[in-house]
Structure 1
Amino acid sequence: MILIAVLLWAGVAAPWTAAQSSSMLVVKGRVLNAETNAPLSDTHVFVAESMNGTVTDSTGRFRLDEVHPGAKRLYVSRVGYANEAVDFDPTPGRTQVFTAERCRLVNPEVLRFEEKWWGTFKAQAEKPVVIENRALGYRLTYFLKEFEKSGSVVRWDGEPLFDPLTPQDSSQAARWRQNRREAYRGSLRHFLRALLDDRLKEEQFELYRLPRASAFRHTSRADRMPTSRDHILEPSPDDSTYHLDVRDRLEVVYRGEPESELYLEWADRSRRAPKDHQTSQIELNEHPIHIDPHGEIVEPYGATLYRYFAFTTRMSKRLPREYEPPE
């Protein structure tokens, strides 16, 4: 699969307070592990697009002096955790708490990186990569074959093996069930299974063809043409998979969930309000591509994903093939 995305793995919780100092503000806070509430030392904390940054102490605390009033974006970065970016508006005397579930790379030492002068970034793994996803309750053993990032295009190939984690209590088990359901709803897999089952309308998906000439600029309703399952999908000769084929770009609108604030931040569209639906695009690199009964694309680089599918098709959102959403 080729993705217009950057792999983002959440990993910290950062509460802070703001106190006034003349016309500037002093921002104080503490960075904690979201699952255990243990303090995280040696964590880099800085205000975006500024020279104002620091490192947390042994208790996870930090202090940023001379912060201008107004909306800010705070970045939190620590080895073994994903970078976290949160928007906040420091107000004297006010406490704000931001929590992100953890998705942790257990054995980063197995990875080897290579960066070319022309901007291509590659990663290889000497052994399977182990990822602990405390947001969804899985431990992944990922057999990485290839990872490459060039500009805004990220492509990777590999096979994950899922092992369920044991919840600490019934509350965590319920949270994992809810997070898994949310990860599935509106995902590429959800769409492809609805397409295979001829349930696009029931699952709140709309399907359009988008001429390639208009795909590279801002699209409007006038650019796209409604299409249907029968025009793009047919069973393979042995009935083991389905063939998906279309020369134009596909646009998929999901009406079941609104856009998230995190998506707007990732897409650099945080200045506008979230829409009440999610829009994705798919462009085929091979003709046709094969879809298996689980709603997975068989060819590793058979399609390029844009917009919401690119945002959600990340390792932190992966679910095992056996996952079935509740009725």
Structure 2
Amino acid sequence: MEFWRIRKLFLAVFCLAQLIGHAQTTTVTIMGTVTDEVTGELLPFANVYINNSSIGTTTNEKGAYTLANLPIGNIDVAVSYLGYAPIKQTLRFEQPGLKKVLFKMRQGVELEGVVIFSKKSKKREQRLKIITRELLGAGRFSKLCKLLNPEVLRISLDDNGHLTAQTISPLKIENRALGYLIHQDLSDFDFYEGKVYYGGNTRFELLKPANEEEENRWRANQKTAYQGSLKQLLTSMVSDSLRENGFRVFQEIPDSLRMFSRVSTQNGMSFIKNHLHNRIEEVRGRALIRPGELETERLVVSGTKLEVFNLNKRSSSPYSDMSYAYSVISFPQGYSVISPQGWLIMPNGIDIRGDLGNDRFANLLPADWKRD
């Protein structure tokens, strides 16, 4: 009996060692310094983080930092420091281990604009309401979100009617629905004729819950935000479980492969029949996913656009027989790189319109958020 106990203990320790060894050989640790580009001065307490995530750190008194346990592959590392222009650098590591990465920052420059509204201007307040609405969205979680420092926004109205904005330091968005303080370096915001575009570096910081009840509520809301999100859609593609998670995805058929059905009218004229399955066909997740160059990567491949329906959300769509939340996804390069957990490794390789394109900071989860 004692022999078997010792043997089981040995096997358990051996398996743990194997897991630890595997983790050590499949992750990257980056370290280095953050300095002034011109003077070479070390910058203490600068924020160094993985863009769109809650993974980050700050430099010490000597301007040095360390970020450990990062996955191999592409990593968007962003750096911010008061009085300096934020930077972002895409790094690619195909081998695990310790990597040295140095960041040089440039002191911030004046933002350009046609008409810049002063802090106490009534026009500024009107424009600020629009920007707040477009950043937070109109969902139920938006009521529990607010901008803590709107004074960092520089708002301008161009002659062509575009409402634009930038930040001189990170905009802080408190999301008490999901439990995050979001630091947003808004490099570009453009609102015109009801459509909005914005971009920049995003850092998620975990808020401290007041009690266990608030912590549980945040976790429940996070799960709600995950349902029907782009992250869940991409994860469902990888696991080939689109239908099981409430999605139906249709791929546009190229003109060269289409077989049109024609119907005749009373006047004898012939028309192409406009039906859901005539120009698009339903696809499974495995038909869209290919292996990446690394084990931490997957490719979502489609030469034509995808039309996505969220069966758990009733809404209008171009099709009378599919009254569900509707989105259109296209890949300008024919593919996009993601992680198996639905983390967009190449954000510029995907264009999203419709329901999935309406995500705002009120229901936005960090890329490293994990399910139970």
Contact conserved, 2:142 with 2:362, CA < 8 A, in 1? no
Aligned equivalents of 1:187, 1:205: Cα separation in 2: 10
Q: Which residue of 2 aligns with 1:11?
A: none
Q: Which has the larger radius of gyration?
A: 2
Aligned equivalents of 1:307, 1:226: Cα separation in 2: 19
Q: Which residue of 1 aligns with 2:39?
A: none
Aligned equivalents of 2:227, 2:131: Cα separation in 1: 28
Range with bigger deviation, 108-117 or 291-300: 291-300
Aligned equivalents of 2:197, 2:131: Cα separation in 1: 22
Aligned equivalents of 1:167, 1:157: Cα separation in 2: 29
Report the CA distance shift for 1:79/1:278 in structure 2 as closer, same or farther (over 3 A): closer
- Aligned pair 1:317/2:372, yes or no? no
Contact conserved, 2:141 with 2:177, CA < 8 A, in 1? no
Q: Which residue of 1 aligns with 2:228?
A: 186
CA root-mean-square deviation: 3.7
SS of 2:293's partner is: coil
Report the CA distance shift for 1:220/1:201 in structure 2 as closer, same or farther (over 3 A): closer
Contact conserved, 1:212 with 1:249, CA < 8 A, in 2? no
Aligned equivalents of 1:82, 1:107: Cα separation in 2: 15
After TM superposition, give the deviation of residue 82 of structure 1 in Å: 4.2
After TM superposition, give the deviation of residue 219 of structure 1 in Å: 7.3
Report the CA distance shift for 1:212/1:183 in structure 2 as closer, same or farther (over 3 A): farther
Give deviations 1:142-181, integer Å, cap 9, x for gaps.
Answer: 2333333344543333232222222233433332222111
Give deviations 1:107-134, integer Å, cap 9, x for gaps.
Answer: 1111112333334333211111111001
Contact conserved, 1:251 with 1:279, CA < 8 A, in 2? yes
- Aligned pair 1:291/2:338, yes or no? yes
TM-score, length-scaled by structure 1: 0.58
5 Å-filtered alignment, 1:149-298, equals 149-210=191-252, 220-255=276-311, 257-259=312-314, 275=323, 277-298=324-345
5 Å-filtered alignment, 1:67-78, equals none
Report the CA distance shift for 1:299/1:134 in structure 2 as closer, same or farther (over 3 A): same
Overall identity of the aligned pairs, in %: 25
Aligned equivalents of 1:195, 1:153: Cα separation in 2: 29
The amino acid across from 1:253 in the alignment is F
Range with bigger deviation, 314-323 or 181-190: 314-323
Aligned equivalents of 1:113, 1:286: Cα separation in 2: 34
After TM superposition, give the deviation of residue 137 of structure 1 in Å: 1.4
Report the CA distance shift for 1:79/1:197 in structure 2 as closer, same or farther (over 3 A): closer
Contact conserved, 1:105 with 1:131, CA < 8 A, in 2? yes
After TM superposition, give the deviation of residue 79 of structure 1 in Å: 9.6
Aligned equivalents of 2:169, 2:159: Cα separation in 1: 27
After TM superposition, give the deviation of residue 221 of structure 1 in Å: 4.8
1:145 pairs, out of 187, 205, 212, with 187
How many residue pairs match? The answer is 225
Contact conserved, 1:81 with 1:102, CA < 8 A, in 2? no
Unmatched 5+ stretches in structure 2: 1-121, 123-127, 256-273
- Aligned pair 1:127/2:174, yes or no? no
After TM superposition, give the deviation of residue 304 of structure 1 in Å: 2.3
Give deviations 1:203-241, integer Å, cap 9, x for gaps.
Answer: 23222113589xxxx974544211233443212223332
Aligned equivalents of 2:344, 2:142: Cα separation in 1: 30
Aligned equivalents of 2:154, 2:208: Cα separation in 1: 31
Aligned equivalents of 2:137, 2:169: Cα separation in 1: 30
SS of 1:131's partner is: strand
Unmatched 5+ stretches in structure 1: 1-43, 45-76, 87-97
The amino acid across from 2:371 in the alignment is P
TM-score, length-scaled by structure 2: 0.51
SS of 2:244's partner is: coil
Aligned equivalents of 2:130, 2:283: Cα separation in 1: 46
The amino acid across from 2:288 in the alignment is I
Contact conserved, 2:137 with 2:361, CA < 8 A, in 1? no
